[in-house]
Amino acid sequence: MGSAGPKWTHAGEPTANVDAVVSAVVAALTLWLLGAVVGLMLPRPKFLTTARWDWAFSSPVGLVVGRLALLTQGAFMIREIWFYFTSPGTFHALARAMWTWLCGGGWRLRLATRRPTRKLRKKGSGERDGGGDIDWYVTEEDLEVFKHRIECDGVVPGAGSWEAMMSKDFGGFTYEAWRRSLRGNKTEYKSVTVANDATAEEFMDFYLDDPTRPKWDSMISETEVLENGDGKHRCQVVRWMRTFPFSFISKREYVIARRMWRGSDGALYGITKAIEHPRAPVARGIVRMDVYYSMWRSRTIPSPDGSGRPACETVLLHHEGFKIPENLARFAVRHGMSGFVKKMGPEVVTFVAERRKRVGPFQTDPDAFGANATPNPPAARCDSAASLVSLAGSEASATDTDSASEAAPVPSRRRRGGGARGPLRRAQQLSLALVATTLAVALSRSGSSRKLAS
CB 150 within 8 A of CB 281: no
Please count the residues of the chain: 454
pLDDT greater at residue 157 or residue 37: 157
CATH of domain 140-406: 3.30.530.20
How far is it, in rounded angstroms, from Cα 141 to Cα 147?
Answer: 10
Q: Would the pLDDT of 30 be above 60?
A: yes
CB 191 within 8 A of CB 178: yes
Q: Are 150 and 397 in contact (CB under 8 A)?
A: no
CA–CA separation, 229 vs 275, rounded Å? 15
- Helix, coil or strand: residue 454: coil
Q: What's the CA gap between 291 and 275, in Å, rounded?
A: 9
Question: Of 382, 440, 439, 437, which is closest to residue 412 (Cα–Cα)?
Answer: 382
Task: Check residue 14 and give its pLDDT.
Answer: 39
Using pLDDT thresholds of 50, 70 and 90, give the confidence band for residue 329.
confident
Please give the residue that has the higher pLDDT: either 122 or 169. Answer: 169
Per-residue confidence (pLDDT) for residue 275, from 0 to 100: 95
Task: Give the lowest-confidence range in 68-77, 119-128, 236-245.
Answer: 119-128
The C-alpha atoms of residue 257 and residue 132 are separated, in whole angstroms, by 19
β-strands 287-288, 310-320: how paired? unpaired
State the angle between helix axes of 60-85 and 51-58 in degrees (0 to 180), rounded to the nearest 10.
50
pLDDT at 142 over 90: yes
- Assign 437 a pLDDT band (cuts: 50, 70, 90): low
Distance (Å, rounded) from C-alpha 68 to C-alpha 62?
A: 10
Q: How confident is the model at residue 436 (pLDDT cuts 50, 70, 90)?
A: low
Instruction: Give the residue, 314 or 35, on which the prediction is more confident.
Output: 314
| Range list of H helices, 258-409 | 326-355, 388-392, 402-406
Given a cut of 90, whether residue 391 has pLDDT beyond it is no
Q: Is 351 within 8 Å of 210 (Cβ atoms)?
A: no
Q: How far is CA 206 from the centre of its chain?
A: 24
- The better pLDDT of the pair 124, 220 is held by 220
Lowest mean pLDDT among 13-27, 137-151, 412-426: 412-426
- CB 181, CB 163: distance < 8 Å: no
User: d(Cα 229, Cα 258) in Å, to the nearest integer?
Assistant: 10
pLDDT at 406 over 50: no
Q: Where are the domains of the chain?
A: 18-112+418-453, 140-406
* Burial of 327 from C-beta contacts in 10 A (0-12 / 13-18 / 19+): exposed
Please give the Cα distance from 68 to 216 (Å, whole number): 59
Give the residues across from 300 on adjacent strands: 312
Segment among 24-38, 62-76, 110-124, 404-418 with least mean pLDDT = 404-418
Q: How confident is the model at residue 135 (pLDDT cuts 50, 70, 90)?
A: confident
Cα of first residue to Cα of last residue in the chain, in angstroms, is: 69
Cβ contact 191:207 at 8 Å: no
Which sign does the torsion angle of CA 416, 421, 423, 426 carry?
A: positive
What is the pLDDT at residue 234?
A: 96
Over its C-alpha atoms, the chain yields an Rg (Å, rounded) of 28
Q: Give the Cβ contact number of residue 143 at 10 Å.
A: 22
Q: What is the pLDDT of residues 50-99, one digit of tens each?
A: 555 556 666 777 677 777 877 777 777 777 777 666 666 777 778 888 88
Burial class (CB in 10 A: 0-12, 13-18, 19+), 64: exposed
Q: Using DSSP bridges, classify how beta strands 287-288 and 252-262 pair: parallel, antiparallel or unpaired.
A: parallel
Asked if 390 contacts 408 with a C-beta cutoff of 8 angstroms, the reply is no
Q: Answer yes or no: are the C-beta atoms of 258 and 208 closer than 8 Å.
A: yes
- Which range is least confidently modeled, 95-104, 338-347, 393-402? 393-402
Quote the pLDDT of residue 46.
62
| Model confidence pLDDT, tens digit, residues 310-324 | 999 999 999 999 888
pLDDT of residue 390 exceeding 50, the answer is: yes
CA 430 from centroid of its chain's CA atoms:
25
Task: Please state, rounded to an integer, the average pLDDT across all residues of the chain.
Answer: 76
